[in-house]
Amino acid sequence: MAITGPIADHLATAILVLDASRQVAYANSAAEQLLGLGHRRLLGCTLAELYQHLSADAHTLNSALSSNQGQTLYALSLATLDGQHHTIDLTVSPLPDDCRVIEARAIDQQQRISQELQQYAQHHAAQLLVRGLAHEIKNPLGGLRGAAQLLQMELEDSELTEFTQIIIEQSDRLRALVDRLLGPQYPGKRATTNVHRLLESCAQLCQLESHNGIQIERDYDPSIPDFTLDTDQLEQALLNICRNGCQAMQQQGKLTLKTRTHGSMTINGQRHRRVMTISIIDDGPGIAAEVRDTLFYPMVTNKADGSGLGLSIAQNIVAQHQGRIDVDSWPGHTEFIIYLPLNLQSEAPAA
């Protein structure tokens, strides 16, 4: 079947035509750009040979390819062979001679906006919930602790004072847990520093904790200037994410630390002239689907011994620096991307 497409080459939607043996017989320019492969490399390949990962399961995809009716799969995560990640809507339609046409439309921008709004809502809902609970828990805890101290002073039997001491210790433990749930509520003392110094400190700690089982790969942008931030808090946020990745890899694997700068960008409705990104990438199994939508909620974890506080605290700290955190994850690749304005002052609301 001869396939030509002078019109298709001018479309923004990626078009692939599969022949009866389900090999690529035609690809337009948008498909080459999306997949990061040249025309000659695409021709003759099966669909599975064109990417690292596609979030549609094999049965669903094969069913769409076998059907004689058009089907659309929405919001699929696509990782290309050159390591790029996209979110796409994928439509499969039948053609004569048992061929199939595949249309892939990138929806990355819409997805990013939706994720940002969702994370913003999650963050504020979680903070309101935790603050309310903290108020309700701390007041009776203070009363219990005070009563136990008064009782302890009245008791002469040392065996009985052991029980009051247990009440005091457990009250203190619960209060400390509530304080951890709340996380830092206000920015601390800020100083001018280089973010790579903070990343190097995190890298050293991760290697020590893993007994050098973690391989650290650095991809730093040396042009990033020193800027003003809360050094202790931001280092804690970076360390929480790094530790999360190391634990996902069971202390053996590769952790990549990457920094870049970008031009004008809008974060949480505020426009910033210049933004830095910090990417923390691990090659672990990926984030479980059941926790992905609530990843930054306090007490949400898929680790047996995890507290579920690390990412929640990290998000709170980054938000206090007027930034945000995005996540891309598939098996073998999880990437937390932290966006921080270098000026740390919003310039104008987004139009």
Sign of CA dihedral 234, 243, 175, 161: negative
Mark whether 134 and 261 lie in a shared domain: no
State the CATH number of the domain containing residue 258: 3.30.565.10
User: Within this chain, do residues 130 and 212 fall inside the same structural domain, yes or no?
Assistant: no
Provide the domain limits for residue 134. 111-182
CA distance 279 to 273: 20
Please check whether residues 233 and 321 belong to one and the same domain.
yes
Average confidence score pLDDT of the chain: 86
What is the share, in percent, of the chain residues with pLDDT greater than 90?
Answer: 48
Domain stops at, among 130, 152, 182: 182
Q: What is the pTM of this model?
A: 0.71
pLDDT in tens, 38-76: 989 999 999 999 999 898 888 999 999 999 999 999 889
Residues 38, 96 within the same domain:
yes
Pick left, alpha or beta for residue 286 (phi over 0 → left; psi -120 to 50 → alpha; otherwise beta): left
Same domain? For 174 and 207 the reply is: no
Across the range 310-331, mean pLDDT stands at 89
Distinct helix (H) and strand (E) counts, the chain: 9, 16
pLDDT attached to residue 351: 38
Both 308 and 206 in a single domain? yes
SS3 category, 210: coil
Taking a C-beta distance cutoff of 8 angstroms, is the pair 296, 336 a contact? no
The answer on 293 and 195 residing in a single domain is yes
pLDDT score at 344: 55
Residue 2 belongs to some domain of the structure:
no
Residue range 19-34: mean pLDDT, rounded:
94
Secondary structure of residue 285 in the 3-state scheme: coil
Are 101 and 120 in a shared domain? no
pLDDT tens across 129-173, in order?
777 777 788 888 888 889 989 998 888 887 788 888 889 998 888
Closest among 237, 236, 234, 328 to 281, alpha carbons compared: 328
Q: Is residue 309 part of a domain?
A: yes
Distances (CA, A) of 70 to 62, 67, 73, 102: 13, 7, 10, 10
pLDDT at 1 (0 to 100): 44
Q: Is there a single domain that holds both residue 93 and residue 237?
A: no
Residue 146: both structure tokens together:
């005070």
102 and 241 both lie in a single domain:
no
And the tokens for 186? 């206000």
For residues 57 and 147, membership in a common domain is answered with no
Please check whether residues 226 and 297 belong to one and the same domain: yes
Give the number of domains in the chain. Answer: 3
- Alpha carbons 52 and 60: distance in angstroms, whole number: 17
CATH code, 13? 3.30.450.20
Does residue 198 register a pLDDT over 50?
Answer: yes
Residue indicated by tokens 């903290």: 134
pLDDT at position 187, please?
63
